[in-house]
Amino acid sequence: SVMLTTATTDADRALWPSAAGVTLVASAGAALEVALTTCNTGASPFPLTQALHTYFAVPDIDRVRVEGFDGLDYLDKVDANARKRWSGPIRFAGEVDRIYLGHAGAATIVDEALGRSIVVEKSGSRSSVVWNPWIERCRQLADMGPDGYRGMLCVETANAGDDVVVLAPGASHTLAARIHLR
């Protein structure tokens, strides 16, 4: 296990006006467990959005599907945040950048090439982000090779879109993910 802790400073106020303490705990064993706890250390409530940016390596994005989002609404960031409804498993044939709303359950990445399933369970979250930059967006990313999109995807535990947490003074919120193979 590793624990990292920080707190906002006066210099941070130019970027974010609220006072907060943040602790990240990551534990590895049969599963990877990550918990991000934010505490309001100020005198006023503040809205909190956040995400655990989990990037998954896959050998071939064409042979991957993500399950667990059937029947949910999502905000399509590729289409000006249009609200849409999803049906079935997610497959990738172009850029995907979506915030799935009302998602409190698990997501499963089915990697057909390696014959494995990666399960992302979560708590403290009612939204998830699914992302793959695809060809054009990938070319704009300095930290990814031209074909980098073929070997990755993100399934992120989040508080995003309309899933905003309001932290009262002295209150805390924990966003957590448990990732394991099935």
Q: Which two tokens stand for residue 5?
A: 């802790």
Cα end-to-end span (Å), the chain: 22
Residues labelled as active-site residues: 53, 156
- E strand residue ranges, 10-106: 20-28, 32-40, 46-48, 50-52, 55-57, 64-67, 73-76, 82-85, 96-101
Beta-ladder partners of 176: 35, 123
41 contact partners, CB below 8 Å, separation of at least 6: 7, 8, 19, 20, 21, 170
